[in-house]
Amino acid sequence: MKLASRFAATLLVLAPLGASAHPGHGEPGAGHTLAHWLGDPLHFVPLASALAAGTVLIVWRRRAEARRRRD
């Protein structure tokens, strides 16, 4: 199995772990603000991790394509 496939499979397996809610969800207007998503570590850390992983994957694929073109 290729590294990218393993990485994707790992993300899919771990994705449900972040689905548990914390206090503040279900209250009208409480969990639907940008401040809530960026100010709460339970949202910000997974969001930042997903963005970092996506960025690394995109850069890695572009470099791999560039190397293939040179060879």
Instruction: Give residue-wise pLDDT tens across range 33-58.
Output: 778 778 888 788 888 999 999 999 99
Domain annotation covers residue 5? no
Range of the domain at 64: 33-71
Q: What's the whole-model pTM score? A: 0.55
Within-domain flag for 11: no
Query: Buried b vs exposed e over 8-32: b needs ≥16 C-beta within 10 Å?
Result: eeeeeeeeeeeeeeeeeeeeeeebe
Residue 70 maps to a domain: yes
Asked whether residue 38 is domain-assigned, the answer is: yes
- Condensed to tens digits (0 to 9), the pLDDT of residues 5-14 reads 888 888 878 7
8 in any annotated domain = no
